[in-house]
Amino acid sequence: MQSHPRDRHVRSGAVARDSEGALQARRLMTGAAAGIALLLGAAQAVQAQDETVIVAHGFSILGDLKYPADFSHLDYVNPDAPKGGEISIWGFGGFDSMHPYTTRGRAGGLSTIFFESLLEGTADEVGTGYCLICETIEYPEDRAWVIFNMRDDVTFSDGTPLTADDVLFSFEILRDKGLPDFRANLARQVDSAEVIDPHTIRFDFAEDWPKRDLPALVGGLPIFSRAFYEANDRDFEQSSMQPLMGSGPYVLGRLDPGQTLVYERNPDYWGWDHPLMAGRSNFDRIRIEYYADYNAAFEGFKGGSYTFRNEASSLIWATSYDFPAVERGHVVQATLPDGNMATGQSFIFNLRRDKFSDPRVREAIGLMFNFEWSNETLFYGLYERIHSFWENSDMAAEGLPTPEELAILEPLADILPPGVLDEAAVMGQPSGGRQLDRGNLRQASALLDDAGWEVGSDGLRRNAAGEALRIEFLNDSQTFDRVINPYVENLRALGVDARLTRVDSSQMTNRERSYDFDIITAQFPMSQIPGSGLRQYFGSETSDISVFNKMGLQSEAVDRVIEVVLAAETREEVTHAVRALDRLLRAERFWVPQWFKDTHTVAYFDMFEHPEELPPYALGHLDFWWYNAAKAEALRAAGAIR
């Protein structure tokens, strides 16, 4: 389901997850952090200086590439899709920057759309990708280094050539001035980068770092124009309303700060004949209209102010799609399959706060969220409970640990949370049909008593110093109030001084980035082949600078199991290691998992079409759907759209 608000709801600050995800996944392949990494395929191995060097048209992490070197188009696109028209979506809040690679400012939706990478992922494979800006990739069997042999016909959107020097510049500036947690890892992963000639670049990797994903990591970095950056005297760490120069098929068309963004298809884009681009980037324009709240955005859709909506509110989906445009057949309401893992959406605790230092307190608070009641009463039974960070995949830990998991976890026995080795994987506690589950209330009361938070004369839980257990839920979505308020009421019945604080989107961003919160809603979008992004979400080293590790988790055991995941070399090894990590993370109880569903619930004005069979890992409405001009004209004639 799509982002914002919070029925699955997550604060996006820009646009819905899949709206941005399909384009970001191919423009910004940050390897493990975004879950796109790559390896071998129909490759050629050559012998050089006593080592076998693989030369290939792509890279896959744990298997073979699906597409041969001479493929003409991806299987899930319509290579004959017409070009033209406009698709429009909505964004939440506003924006004050067009630079998405800094913590300064609030970047506009889809603001990574300008940038491409050496390698490009697909939506029908896991952990694979193909040469886009490169022609071939070379690397030894141990992946200690990689060479990208680049195309000589790639240009930036201003027509200037894209060269190996631009790739080097982009790597160095991301390493030196990129997001703090990313730069900390990148500097340790890559020993050196060298331009061999104008269209060849080599990366050598750190000897002491797992190398399984590293060719994908550097091959997935966005590429910026050095000349444009220097001519405009830019500072990468500062926000700017002027986007950097990229080589992608879209350029900035119109910008109304905080309200509207329009991206236009570049007719002079260098890659229109590339097999990876056949049947893709079909719309002449992609427009984003910003709204201050979810209900206002829905009213805008009903009035035709934008034309495609990935519905995140179960209440609206179940009760409000009865407006005239639907009844007249002008708007299509569809449920489409979604093969992605759940996003790990959850309430998370700020572990930097002393009151959350005791896991019994966190467990007690988690017990008071009644998913079953919420799902039936608020969500019309549309969702399933999230239990795992890899929900909706075979990597979710289940039951007691397997022998393979124990082999990873038992050496860490002295630093593991209780129960990891000899109890079933932690699950969200089931609740009854009433909002306040009395059994869970009694269990939570006992946990807080044991943790030293006893009920005082005023009915509030207090510690030995007489301090009340006060908890603030920070939220910037009006529609999510109906989810949090019953949770607050349940906590107050427990004696917790809980409250909901509503802020606007900019305040939310600032407070999240400064870790000024008790509990917020966040996501943990994990990969089918997790890589170094695990350090960004869960690693101790960057816990106080990461924009992903919002809870501030610091766990030696988690750090060490992450290393096992990164060192895994087969699909089977990865699965066992991830299950062990999942089991451990859930035992840390820094989250109260929310909900997910394995479908996209979408509504759109009936002028868009898509391939009959969608790929498992992308809805692709901004990528490989297309515009039917005849249908659009009929809608205009009927007064359904302007």
pLDDT number for residue 566 = 92
* Cα dist from 434 to 100, 347, 363, 552, whole Å: 44, 21, 20, 34
- Per DSSP, 412 falls in state G
pLDDT number for residue 185 = 85
Residues (pLDDT < 50) of the chain are 1-43
591 forms beta bridges with 348
pLDDT number for residue 18 = 33
- C-alpha–C-alpha distance, residues 276 and 131, integer Å: 9
- 613: Cβ contacts below 8 Å, ≥ 6 apart: 76
Name the token pair of 411.
């050496």
* Cα dist from 537 to 216, 493, 626, whole Å: 19, 33, 36
Angle between helices 438-450 and 359-367 (to 10 degrees): 170
Domain 346-596 CATH class label: alpha beta
Name the token pair of 559.
């750090």
**Helix, strand, coil proportions of the chain in percent (round to 5)?**
30, 20, 50
The answer to whether the CB of 478 falls within 8 A of the CB of 295 is yes
Indicate the burial class of 181 (C-beta count within 10 angstroms; 0-12, 13-18, 19 or more).
buried
Strand runs labelled E in 167-267 = 190-197, 200-205, 250-256, 260-265
* Cα dist from 330 to 81, 454, 528, 619, whole Å: 22, 59, 38, 21
The DSSP result for 374-398, as a single string, is HHHHTSTT--EE--STTTTSTTS--
Q: How far is CA 145 from the centre of its chain?
A: 28
pLDDT number for residue 29 = 34
The answer to whether the CB of 210 falls within 8 A of the CB of 534 is no
pLDDT number for residue 49 = 57
- 406: Cβ contacts below 8 Å, ≥ 6 apart: 421
At CA 475, angle to CA 438 and CA 604, rounded to 5? Answer: 105
pLDDT number for residue 103 = 85
Angle between helices 180-189 and 164-177 (to 10 degrees): 120
The answer to whether the CB of 602 falls within 8 A of the CB of 608 is no
- C-alpha–C-alpha distance, residues 71 and 167, integer Å: 26
Cα–Cα nearest to 11, from 558, 631, 509, 605 = 509
Cα–Cα nearest to 13, from 518, 514, 509, 519 = 509
Angle between helices 556-567 and 571-588 (to 10 degrees): 170
- C-alpha–C-alpha distance, residues 540 and 456, integer Å: 36
